[in-house]
Amino acid sequence: MAETGFSDDKILRYSRQLLVPGFDLDSQQALTHARVLVVGAGGLGCPAALYLAGAGVGSLTLMDPDQVEVHNLHRQIAFRQADLGRPKARALAEQLSDLNPEVQCSVREESADEDVLDALLPETELVLDCTDNFAARRAINHACVRADTPFVSGAAIRREGQLAAFDRRQSDSACYACLYGDSEGGDERCAESGILGPVVGHVASFQALLALYLLIGQPVAQTLHRFDGTALAWRSAGFSRDPACPVCADGVEAAQE
Ligand SMILES: [Zn+2]
């Protein structure tokens, strides 16, 4: 295996995913060199980042301004009782490093605004939108459109979830605003509406899977996936670029506020 530069230990660590048809040493190499930004270290960010670290994504930046609170623990599975009061991004980074010492973790204890994202995206191959509010999603969408950086957006509330990948590197690909518009909507927060832990974990797992596919160059359809946690059923529907989109239409330069 000398031609890959992979040690026997590394081959062993990733052996079970290397056995999967369509995932080979080149795929593993792509993950090793990948730099991923995870925005939000909560119910989505914890499981998604754990899976990406376990899979061998070489560099993970974790962004979250909050501290761990006791009502997070039922779903934010990287955290333990002893983490209460600690910054989420830092506590998650420690878990990822414990899981896989080969992963380089960096921590940003701040909210995602467009200035911060504009500075980070040139060094970022993929963004995971694991946030819980429209303002952050909007900032991620604007910045990713400007930088042509793909992102995978997930959301979950009560027993429902949804996710989609937005990859502006593909011709005719839509952005988040093509699908949802670019105006502030009424955020539904887990604090008011509730969330079951396995529901948000399920969405996060799919986010991580889409992220792995994008990182190894496997095509990802432009599809909105919706999860009904009562019926345990996924529904999927394609969506298209909006030629009049206020963010990504021709001639619009992903206007920054
Ligand atoms: Zn758009």
46 carries an active-site annotation: no
What pLDDT is stored for residue 256 in this prediction? 56
238 CB-near residues (< 8 Å, 6+ apart):
221, 222, 223, 224
Instruction: Kindly give the distance from the C-alpha atom of residue 212 to the centroid of ligand 1, in angstroms, as a whole number.
Output: 24
Averaged over 203-209, what is the pLDDT?
A: 98
- Please report the domains of the chain, with CATH numbers, ordered by start residue: 33-238 (3.40.50.720)
Instruction: Kindly give the distance from the C-alpha atom of residue 173 to the centroid of ligand 1, in angstroms, as a whole number.
Output: 8
Q: Quick one: pLDDT band at residue 1, thresholds 50, 70, 90?
A: very low
Distance CA 28, CA 171 (A): 26
Instruction: Kindly give the distance from the C-alpha atom of residue 244 to the centroid of ligand 1, in angstroms, as a whole number.
Output: 8
pLDDT digit string, tens, across residues 123-180: 999 999 999 999 999 999 999 999 999 999 999 999 999 999 999 888 889 999 999 9
* Least confident piece of the model among 4-13, 20-29, 78-87: 4-13
Instruction: Kindly give the distance from the C-alpha atom of residue 182 to the centroid of ligand 1, in angstroms, as a whole number.
Output: 9
Among candidate residues 46, 130, 175, 190, the one labeled active-site is: 190
What pLDDT is stored for residue 183 in this prediction? 86
Q: Output the six-digit token pair for 74.
A: 């039922």
What pLDDT is stored for residue 255 in this prediction? 59
Q: Output the six-digit token pair for 52.
A: 């990406």
Give how far Cα 198 sits from Cα of 13, 77, 149, 232, Å: 27, 10, 29, 11
Q: Is the pLDDT of residue 251 over 80?
A: no
Instruction: Kindly give the distance from the C-alpha atom of residue 254 to the centroid of ligand 1, in angstroms, as a whole number.
Output: 9
| Closest residue by Cα to residue 207 from 220, 194, 191, 189 | 220
Percent of the chain with pLDDT over 70: 96
Residue carrying structure tokens 């080149």: 26
* Least confident piece of the model among 2-11, 72-81, 109-118, 213-222: 2-11
